[in-house]
Chains A and B, each alone.
Chain A
Amino acid sequence: MTVEASLNSVLPRRSFLKTTLLASGAFLVGVAYRRELWAGGSADEADWSPNLYLRIDPDNTVFILSKNPECGQGVKTALPMIVAECLEVDWEQVRVDQAGLDDRLGRQAAAGSGSTPDAWNDLRVAGTGARVMLVAAAAEKWSVAPSECVAREGRVLCEAKGLSARYGDLLKLAAKQAAPNLEALSLVSKPKDFKLLGRRIAGVDNAKIHTGKALFGCDTRLEGMLYAVYVKCPSFGGRVNKANVEQVLEMPGVTHAFVVEGGADPTGLAPGVAIVAETWWEANAARRYLRVDWETAQSDSSYDYERQADALRKEAGETLREDGQVEEAFGMAERIVEGSYYYPFVSHAPMEPQNCTALYHDSGRIELWAPTQLPGSARDAVSRTLGLKNESIQIHMTRMGGGFGRRLVNEFAAEVAWIAREVRRPVQLQWTREDDMSHDFYRPAGWHDFKAGLDEGGRMVAWDHHFVTFGNEGRSVSGAGISRSHYPAGLVENFRLRQSMIPCHVPTGPWRSPGHSAFCWAFQSFFDDVCDASGRDPLEFRMELLSRSFGEPPLDLARTRATLKLAAEKAGWGRELGEKRGMGLAFHFDHGGFATHIAEVSVGSGGRYKVDRVVSAIDVGPVLNRSGAENQVEGCVVDALSTCSQLEIEFIAGTAKQSNFRDYPLLRIDQTPTIECHFIESDNPPSGLGEPPFAPVAPAIANALFAATGRRVREMPFVRAGFSI
């Protein structure tokens, strides 16, 4: 049965509730999408099929579908909690199933901290709608009014009459109820009303992880499966002139070795040589005998980038935004402060190197087991590579050993699809760590030159910022653009943003909290330059900066100030820490979340330092799973510290110089600070947490290093500036 309701402003216009009773007696609830809105199709009822957000079985087990890819951000636990909260069931009754790529499910992605905001309405509708129908079913059974019944822990109760029934016993009747009018549903939204949400719930896959049974992409095992490596030109974009594949074929265990012509698009199938063997070790061992004559396409180098940046920094660049009278304001300023900052390229380096498994069926269909953050784009890559229609491509989504934005690009799916069609057996492509680090879509480097004009009270009255980034033909490359409304735009009356671009031929892309994860350090370090020049307290300066706007504010001022205030309170801002110790702070806003961190550092001899403590104050609206939320904050602090302190990718002759964790040393446990996080649980709709806590970590640490030593860190990684962790 089906009821389609008109939609009020709270609900996404695309959704309507569908319920079905399955032959097994299970009750199925879905929030469907209007086809005409997302696929240009018809809204014909016959087109609809259940999308299975939620199923209740007669034994009272509740199955909740997790539609988004899981890469460690905890969506597979946190989002089903929303359904369980609204359905009023015991978490112990709940089982979570992982979806594959399915167009009926709408957005499926681990990207941009977007899963939570996307799902918040749909999942509440699915849970609440089902609960209302179960209550109506019980009321009918007992001949009482629904208002006399309540739902609690997987049962409906009529306290006045002392009646009680399990959901599992009400399914048939529930399916006969009219689906509720979506407008009339009252959806829980405030933290004070939550029962399950906001609690600490352990990850649903923990038991599997702790016993080695959690299956990641590379753990896929199919009957008769072969293993492959795919060798691409070390210098990006290079093509194969000649390769000794006949000799490689002679190597033990090798079943296939062939050249793939490929194309110029690095997000698709690039040119290379495939080696396939009975075990991965044999495929990779045979690689040592492979000789390829590459035709290289470019020779970008970090040295050249730097020289070009030096030249561009002297020029005016293109003005992206100008407010007020910038030159006049500088002319009248009491004091002018300048500061420059540089950060390098970095790699994503998820713990699980890229891999993908495929089975090409003789019928012309292909199945893939893909650790991907964006399954739709994996399908596109395969479709472009093999010329197959979407219907012929099935994507199973596996757990991922980290993502950080790397698996938004799915060239590994294109590679394995091509290999699978050649070999006609199930095949797993596994990149080496070196492949992964040398064929990434890197976070681009950047140079920032800031100038601020202050009045006699030390207030910022003029701002000029020249950003030197990377771009081709007038467009910044992926991950290298800056928003014209990045603060302090709108907070300083006379404001100018200028940009220059260096041509770039190495692949770049989104890297955790794209842009922000790098910019924030530059901006928030320069704010402390300004404080230093004017003798102002960094907290007081920021509070004042965030007290008014000129035109549209670039971020919610009150919410941002609240995170500063809370962090300062919890960290004891202004405490005397003693010799060679210092405290630094920074705020940021991105992906819907507000964060302030305060770091405490101790500096020893030779610039060796330790980050003792990081205190975080975060506003992402209501916290859904407290354990998962804190884990994301802790993870962001570690990742950001790792990146700002020790990591960089350099290029020589078009090739990445760093290749493995020896020269790309991720942070270790003994370098990890104590991390304390505090949430402001505002009533705003929830936003994701995979990214917002990242950006302000590095500047809080750099500002603390300055407080401890009087030395300002102007380049990343900090080890370049003589500070080693």
Chain B
Amino acid sequence: MSQITLNVNGASHAIDVPSDMPLLWALRDKLNLVGTKYSCGIGVCGACTVLIDGRPEHSCMTTAMSEQGAEITTIEGLDPDGKHPTQVAWDEVDVSQCGYCQGGQLLTAVSLLEGNPDPSDADIDMAMSGVLCRCGTYQRIRKAIKLAAKYGQEGVVS
């Protein structure tokens, strides 16, 4: 067990974790931030995606200990009121089915739009291909990202 401090969604948390505990399980079982999901545990599905210093990362593939000092954003920290342009677009397009993968989808999309405010279908497919959706909401994800891009540019929300 080691005492570490994690900076998550703008707040700092001191926790005891086993040194090899992935960030995913520290978030879920130590901090009760259950919006970050487990699905494959081997870095291929993207359900556990969080933003680490703004970049989308698989939280199942990095230890909590090694992310001390980093700015971690989970889906709970995106905009708790759901007013981020990407969240608004996701609601308007009604992307979700079961919703289990959607936290990872949203955070990955947010990071795509930050680097590329007007992505093409090909850009979207490239950036989003690491986040699996078993329910098959991909067509809507493309549409929602374009709508979010428009909202982002127009400054319609948030």
Taking Cβ atoms with an 8 Å cutoff, the residues of A that contact B are: 70-74, 200, 202-203, 205-207, 209-216, 218-219, 221, 227, 252-253, 279-282, 285, 349-353, 399-404, 430, 432-433, 627-628, 631-632, 634-639, 642, 660-662, 666-670, 672, 674-675
Q: Contacts of B96 on A, CB cut-off 8 Å? A: 72, 203, 205-206, 209
Q: Nearest Cβ distance between residue B150 and chain A, in whole angstroms? A: 18
Residue of A nearest to B25 (CB): A281
Say yes or no: is B56 at the interface (Cβ < 8 Å to chain A): no
Docked complex Cα distance between A677 and B42 (Å): 35
**Could you tell me if A210 and B82 are in contact, using CB atoms closer than 8 angstroms?**
yes
Q: Are B34 and A205 in contact (CB under 8 A)?
A: no
Chain B residues 111 to 131 lying within 8 A of chain A, measured CB to CB, are 124-126, 128-131
Residue of A207, A215, A660, A670 touching B91 (CB-CB under 8 A): A207
Do B134 and A402 touch across chains, with their CB atoms under 8 A apart? yes
Give every chain B residue within 8 A of A73 (Cβ-Cβ): 97
Report the Cα distance A281→B59, complex, angstroms. Answer: 13
Partner of A218, one of B38, B82, B102, B130: B38
In the complex, the chain B residue whose C-beta lies closest to that of A637 is B136
B40 at the interface (CB under 8 A from A): yes
Choose among B18, B45, B94, B130 the residue that contacts A203 (Cβ–Cβ < 8 A).
B94
Assembly CA distance A635 to B80 (angstroms): 28
Question: A206-B94, A402-B135, A635-B137 known; A227 and B29 CB under 8 Å?
Answer: yes
B47 touches A634 (CB 8 A): no
Closest to A432 in B: B41
The verdict on B141 contacting chain A, using a C-beta distance below 8 Å, is: yes
The yes or no answer to B99 lying at the interface (CB within 8 A) is yes
Residues of B within 8 A of A674 (CB): 139
Q: List chain B residues, Cβ under 8 A from A637.
A: 136
B residues at A contact (CB < 8 Å):
1, 18, 20-22, 25, 28-30, 32-42, 44-45, 47, 74-76, 78-82, 87, 90-92, 94, 96-103, 106, 124-126, 128-142
Q: Are A210 and B94 in contact (CB under 8 A)?
A: no
In Å, the complex CA distance between A280 and B21 comes to 10
Top 10 closest pairs, chain A to chain B, by CB:
A212-B35, A638-B136, A72-B98, A401-B100, A212-B75, A72-B97, A670-B125, A209-B99, A219-B34, A281-B25
Query: Inside 8 A of A70's CB, which chain B residues have their CB?
Result: 98
Q: How far is the CA of A353 from the CA of B45 in the complex (A)?
A: 12
9 contacts across the A-B interface (CB closer than 8 A) = A203-B96, A211-B79, A212-B78, A218-B37, A401-B134, A402-B100, A402-B134, A674-B139, A675-B139
Decide if A279 touches B76 in the complex (CB within 8 Å): no
Cα distance A353–B20 in the bound complex, in angstroms: 22
The answer to whether B29 touches A433, judged by C-beta atoms less than 8 angstroms apart, is no
With both beta carbons as reference points, the residue of chain B lying nearest to A668 in the complex is identified as B129
A612 CB to closest chain B CB (Å) equals 12
**A636 CA to B103 CA, complexed, in Å:** 22
A210 in contact with B91 (CB, 8 Å): yes
Please state if A661 and B37 are interface contacts (CB–CB under 8 Å).
Answer: no
B15 to chain A, nearest CB (A): 11
- Asked if A212 and B74 make an inter-chain contact with CB atoms under 8 angstroms apart, the answer reads yes
On whether A352 and B100 interact (CB within 8 A), knowing A210-B87, A279-B29, A281-B22, the answer reads yes
Would you give the shortest CB distance from B135 to chain A, in whole angstroms? 5
- The reply to whether B100 and A351 contact each other, CB–CB distance below 8 Å, is yes
Which residue of A211, A227, A352, A668 contacts B75 across the interface (Cβ within 8 Å)?
A211
How far in angstroms is the closest Cβ of chain A from B42? 6
A285 to B78, CA, bound (A): 31
Interchain CB contact (< 8 A) of B45 among A351, A400, A634, A670: A351
Complex Cα gap A635–B34 (Å): 25
Question: How many Å lie between the Cα of A386 and that of B150 in the bound state?
Answer: 56
Contact B94 A200, beta carbon cutoff 8 Å: yes
Most buried by B among A211, A404, A639: A211
Are A202's CB and B94's CB within 8 A? yes
Residue contact A285 to B75, C-beta cutoff 8 Å: no
Check if B94 sits within 8 Å of A636, measured CB to CB.
no
Q: How far apart are A463's CB and chain B's nearest CB, in angstroms?
A: 34
- Whether B98 lies near A401 (C-beta < 8 A) is yes
B142/A669 in contact, CB under 8 A: yes
Which chain B positions have C-beta within 8 A of A432? 41
A252 partner residues in chain B, CB cutoff 8 A: 1, 18
Nearest chain-A residue to B84 (Cβ)?
A: A210
Complex: A127 Cα to B99 Cα, angstroms: 29
- For A660, give its contact among B44, B47, B134 (CB under 8 Å): B44
Contacts of A399 in B (CB 8 A): 98-99
18 new A-B contacts, CB < 8 A, other than A213-B35, A669-B142, are A206-B90, A212-B34, A212-B75, A216-B100, A279-B21, A279-B30, A281-B29, A282-B21, A351-B37, A401-B101, A402-B135, A433-B39, A632-B97, A636-B136, A637-B136, A661-B42, A668-B130, A674-B139
Is B38 a contact partner of A430 (Cβ separation < 8 A)?
yes
B40 touches A631 (CB 8 A): no
With known contacts A281-B29, A669-B142, A661–B44 Cβ distance under 8 A: yes
Minimal Cβ-Cβ distance residue in B for A400: B98
Enumerate chain A residues within 8 angstroms of B39, measured Cβ to Cβ.
351-353, 401, 433, 661
Nearest B residue to A209 via CB reads: B99
CA distance A279 to B28 in the complex (A): 9
**Minimum distance in angstroms from B13 CB to a CB of chain A:** 15
Partner of B42, one of A207, A214, A662, A670: A662
Q: Given the known A-B contacts A206-B91, A285-B18, A349-B134, are A635 and B125 also in contact in the complex, defined by CB atoms under 8 Å?
A: no
B42: A residues at CB distance < 8 A: 433, 660-662
CA distance in complex: A404, B96 (Å): 16
* Residues of B contacting A202 in the complex (Cβ-Cβ under 8 angstroms): 91-92, 94
Whether the pair B132, A661 counts as a contact (CB closer than 8 A) is yes
Closest chain-A Cβ to B45's Cβ sits at a distance in Å of: 5
- Given A200-B94, A209-B102, A211-B76, answer yes or no on A639-B44 (Cβ-Cβ < 8 Å): no
Q: Is A635 a contact partner of B103 (Cβ separation < 8 A)? A: no
Q: How far is the CA of A662 from the CA of B33 in the complex (A)?
A: 27
> Which residues from chain A contact B32 at a C-beta distance below 8 Å?
221
Residues of A within 8 A of B103 (CB): 209, 212
Chain A residues, CB < 8 A from B106:
210
Partner of B90, one of A210, A351, A627, A638: A210
Could you tell me if A213 and B41 are in contact, using CB atoms closer than 8 angstroms? no
Nearest chain A CB to B16 CB, angstrom units? 10
Q: Which residue of A lies closest to B33 (CB)?
A: A212
CB neighbours (8 Å) of A632 from chain B are 97
Measured between beta carbons, the chain B residues less than 8 angstroms from A281 are 18, 21-22, 25, 29
Q: A285 contacts B20, CB within 8 Å? A: yes
Q: How far is the CA of A439 from the CA of B133 in the complex (A)?
A: 21
Please indicate the chain A residues that have their CB under 8 angstroms from the CB of B37 in the complex.
Answer: 216, 218, 351-352, 401
Quick one: given A352-B100, A669-B141, are A72 and B90 in contact (CB under 8 Å)? no
Q: How far is the CB of B60 from chain A (nearest CB, A)?
A: 10
User: In the complex the two chains form, is B134's CB within 8 Å of A350's CB?
Assistant: yes
Task: Say which residue of A200, A210, A661, A667 sits within 8 Å of B136 (CB atoms).
Answer: A667
- Taken together as a complex, chains A and B put the C-alpha atoms of A215 and B130 apart, in Å, by 23
Give, as a whole number of angstroms, the nearest-CB distance from A694 to chain B: 10
The answer on a CB contact under 8 Å between B97 and A74 is: yes
- The residue in B40, B47, B131 that gathers the most chain A C-beta atoms within 10 A of its C-beta is B40
Neighbouring B residues of A72 by C-beta, 8 Å: 96-100, 135
Q: Which residues of B contact A227 (CB under 8 A)?
A: 29
Nearest CB in chain B: distance from A159 CB, A: 35
Between B1, B25, B38, B101, the greatest number of chain A beta carbons within 10 A of the residue's beta carbon is seen for: B38
Q: How many Å lie between the Cα of A672 and that of B138 in the bound state?
A: 7
CB distance from A262 to the nearest CB of B (A): 25
Q: How far is the CB of A72 from chain B (nearest CB, A)?
A: 3
Contact B25 A669, beta carbon cutoff 8 Å: no
Q: Which residues of A contact B1 (CB under 8 A)?
A: 252
